[in-house]
């Protein structure tokens, strides 16, 4: 079933490739207008082309989603072209592999700035649109590493754990306003980022209960549900889309 997001405007950060692109395509399929925010202008333009080729509406905005002034300018450009923003997917992030003893303070700060402070800044800019509409969806892409840990990624796991906490705090504070805040911690999803990581992706996928790596479409489907009216009674929740990597307690 296609869930109608007619009249809704969605901002998806890091939508120039990978998971962000997949979510953009899926929400456009559900008839949301899409603002593709990404540092890579070529990737953002390609996502827009794909959305438009499928009959959807999208714009590309080149933006550093950890820079407050750039975020404000991107939001203003989105509003002037598409209208008020009521769906936000905080997907942009970086995931370096560095042993704990080798992480310099500058690298730690950069990971926190991009993966945690960035989503905080973007959300702060966009929530007023949602409050004015009396309806909003905040979807944060965290990581299954917050549930199980990840070797040589202490700074990354810390940043995504902070995003997990932010999601719950927003859900509690905004619950009475018609805005929900939920998170998706992907497992190992077959993306360019994963293929560039220092792991044997195929072997890892074969070790999972589902016997495969995840697909971008798996995460996009979860995001589409959380963006829909059908998910209006869900907030502060974790939709663990990870092929069984982590199974939480009942």
What tokens does 243 get? 């092929």
Beta carbons within 8 Å of 197's beta carbon, 6+ residues apart? 95, 97
Task: Rounding to the nearest 10 degrees, give the CA dihedral for residues 48, 53, 57, 61.
Answer: 10
Active site residues: 156
The SS3 call for residue 132 is helix
d(CA 56, CA 191): 23
The SS3 call for residue 64 is coil
The number of C-alpha atoms within 13 Å of 168 and in the hemisphere containing its C-beta is 7
- The answer to whether the beta carbons of residues 200 and 206 sit under 8 Å apart is no
- CA distances, 190 to each of 73, 102, 123, 194 (Å): 32, 27, 27, 6
- The answer to whether the beta carbons of residues 175 and 217 sit under 8 Å apart is no
- The answer to whether the beta carbons of residues 73 and 121 sit under 8 Å apart is no
Q: How many residues does the chain have?
A: 250
* Dihedrals phi, psi of 223, to nearest 5 degrees: -65, -40
């Amino acid at each position: 079933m296609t869930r109608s997001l007619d009249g809704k405007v969605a901002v998806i950060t890091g939508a120039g490739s990978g998971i962000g692109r997949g979510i953009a395509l899926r929400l456009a399929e559900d008839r949301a207008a899409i603002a593709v925010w990404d540092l890579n202008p070529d990737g953002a333009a390609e996502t827009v082309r794909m959305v438009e080729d499928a009959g959807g509406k999208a714009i590309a905005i080149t933006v550093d989603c950890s820079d407050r002034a750039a975020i404000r300018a991107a939001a203003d450009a989105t509003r002037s072209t598409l209208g008020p923003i009521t769906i936000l997917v905080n997907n942009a992030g970086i995931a370096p592999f560095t042993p704990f003893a080798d992480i310099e303070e500058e690298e730690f700060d950069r990971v926190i700035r991009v993966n945690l402070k960035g989503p905080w800044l973007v959300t702060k800019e966009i929530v007023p649109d949602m409050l004015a509409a009396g309806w909003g969806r905040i979807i944060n892409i965290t990581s299954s590493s917050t549930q199980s840990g990840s070797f040589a990624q202490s700074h990354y796991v810390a940043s995504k754990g902070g995003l997990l906490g932010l999601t719950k705090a927003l859900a509690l504070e905004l619950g009475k306003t018609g805005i929900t805040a939920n998170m998706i911690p992907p497992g190992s999803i077959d993306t360019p980022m994963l293929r560039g990581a220092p792991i044997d992706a195929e072997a890892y996928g074969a070790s999972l209960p589902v016997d495969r790596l995840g697909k971008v479409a798996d995460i996009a489907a979860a995001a589409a549900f959380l963006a829909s009216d059908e998910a209006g009674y869900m907030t502060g929740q974790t939709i663990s889309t990870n092929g069984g990597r982590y199974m939480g307690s009942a």
